Amino acid sequence: MQIINNPNRDSWSEILKRPTQTVNDIESTVNEIFKEVSVDKEIAIKKYTLKFDGVSLDSNVVSSEEIQEAIALVPEKLQKAIKLAKSNIERFHAAQKTSRIDVETTNGVSCWQEKRPIQKVGLYIPGGTAPLFSTVLMLAVPAQIAGCKEIVLCSPPNKEGKLAPEILFAAQLCGVTKIIKVGGIQAIAGMTFGTESIPQVYKIFGPGNQFVTVAKQLATKFGVAIDMPAGPSELLVVADDSANASYIASDLLSQAEHGPDSQVILVSTSRAIIEEVSKEVESQIAVLPRKAIAEKSIANSKLIYIENDDLGLELIDEYGPEHFIICSKNEDLYINGISNAGSVFIGDYTPESAGDYASGTNHTLPTNGFSKAYSGVNLDSFMKSMTFQKISKEGILNIGETIELMAEAEGLHAHKNAVSIRLKDLK
């Protein structure tokens, strides 16, 4: 990991760059696949599943028999662990429900707001070297609580044309209505346009690589909403002399093993901690099964010495990390001061892994600095706020002239007349 000492503020933007390709590098590939799927539908899906996943499928829809076979393959202990995690995620997201807001803004003018579920949602679950069955819980649980009618799950098949048993177990546990064995750009395109096997949805959720992220952004051009731009995973830890170097190293590596384009950063007011963490990373990475992946990620990562906490907080807010761990005596400064972070983890005994799996918060979070404007997935992500109003005779008499004056000032005379015609009848 590169050690950077007290960087000048002018160099922050360069130091904090993510190791990702620009959209231009991959947009042409995404556009080409979207175009093919929009025209050729299932033929294009099969073509790209063979090209990218190396498998040709007779049917890419998971059958009930496949689900039952998969359940039998998941060890009982793991099933219990998944159920416990689901329970905690359920509890946290159910608590986010809000009741109807009802206000009489003027005598005779009643306005209220209610939330309604998005009817059709698509969940993208990455496969590859680490099938993320935990993401099924993070997306399907709030979708089910919200009351979404169609919950479609897409995930790339392995070389045998199957999905990980744990993904299928979690999907049936959480009420997913249809499971499709398709991944990558073609999955996002399929949920955008709809094909013979993939239902068209109104909103797409889930993390993925840079190609999936760009595909989701392109989907918005065709009237499909997305949760957020969620690309390669990232973690920033802030620490001082009170921190435990081995804990910090383990947290950094927990995100580094996600993929070669992941990024982890330590910001510290202690040069000693930086040296200790650097040594711990070298020691711990040596025994990781995913060492080769973690090493590539660590090469993109940084250890930054900063002279005081106030400056550290400014730098962290500029970066806007997906995950932010605070291991500092001055934790209140960071808790109260942070504005840009997807999810915050506080203290020596709050590893980021807890949020990834079982504490209850959602792990589908904005990356690449998008935490400056986006929230992580939550119950409201699966719902729409709708407003209602009912105006009585008294109400239209109370606000009618206001509407007439404003409509006339804007030159919208039909707007004015819609009120005037009613006022004339009442007067």
Whether residue 376 is contained in a domain is answered as no
Residue 416's CB: how many other CB atoms inside 10 A? Answer: 19
| CATH at 415 | 1.20.5.1300
Whether residue 31 is contained in a domain is answered as yes
- Collapsed DSSP state (helix, strand, coil) of residue 235: strand
| pLDDT tier for residue 21 given thresholds of 50, 70 and 90 | low
Q: Is the pLDDT of residue 70 over 80?
A: yes
| pLDDT tier for residue 232 given thresholds of 50, 70 and 90 | confident
- For tokens 């590596």, what's the residue? 253
The CA distance from 16 to 46, in Å, is 39
The CA distance from 197 to 149, in Å, is 17
Whether residue 365 is contained in a domain is answered as no
| pLDDT tier for residue 209 given thresholds of 50, 70 and 90 | confident
Q: Which residues are catalytic?
A: 322-323
| pLDDT tier for residue 22 given thresholds of 50, 70 and 90 | low
Q: How many domains does the chain have?
A: 3
Per-residue pLDDT averaged across 41-45, rounded?
A: 98
Whether residue 387 is contained in a domain is answered as no
- Residue ranges making up the domain that contains 288: 2-18+232-360
pTM of the model as a whole: 0.94
Does residue 136 sit in the same domain as residue 185?
yes
Tokens found for residue 312: 């550290």
Whether residue 370 is contained in a domain is answered as no
Does residue 195 sit in the same domain as residue 301?
no
Whether residue 356 is contained in a domain is answered as yes
Strand 323-327 relative to strand 178-181, pairing:
unpaired
Length of the chain, please? 427
Does residue 151 sit in the same domain as residue 177?
yes
The CA distance from 142 to 161, in Å, is 28
Query: How high is the pLDDT of residue 23?
Result: 65
Considering only CA atoms, give the Rg of the chain: 25
Residue 48 or residue 300, greater confidence: 48
Query: How high is the pLDDT of residue 303?
Result: 97
Does residue 236 sit in the same domain as residue 224?
no
Does residue 44 sit in the same domain as residue 176?
yes
Dump the DSSP string for 147-206. Answer: T-SEEEEEE---TTS---HHHHHHHHHTT-SEEEE--HHHHHHHHHH--SSS---SEEE-
Whether residue 237 is contained in a domain is answered as yes
344, 360, 376 - which closes a domain: 360
The CA distance from 288 to 240, in Å, is 26
| pLDDT tier for residue 347 given thresholds of 50, 70 and 90 | very high
**Largest interatomic CA distance in the chain:** 85
Whether residue 191 is contained in a domain is answered as yes
Do 376 and 366 meet the contact criterion of CB atoms below 8 Å apart? yes
Query: How high is the pLDDT of residue 121?
Result: 98
Does residue 10 sit in the same domain as residue 46?
no
179, 194, 229 - which closes a domain: 229
| pLDDT tier for residue 285 given thresholds of 50, 70 and 90 | very high
Residues sharing a CB contact under 8 Å with residue 114, sequence separation 6 or more, in sequence order: 100, 385, 386, 388
Does residue 312 sit in the same domain as residue 339?
yes
Q: Is the pLDDT of residue 130 over 90?
A: no
229, 251, 281 - which closes a domain: 229
Does residue 114 sit in the same domain as residue 9?
no
- Collapsed DSSP state (helix, strand, coil) of residue 112: strand
State the DSSP H helix or E strand holding residue 327, giving kind and residue range, or none if neither: strand 323-327
- Collapsed DSSP state (helix, strand, coil) of residue 60: coil
Q: Is the pLDDT of residue 222 over 90?
A: yes
Query: How high is the pLDDT of residue 230?
Result: 78
Q: Is the pLDDT of residue 216 over 70?
A: yes
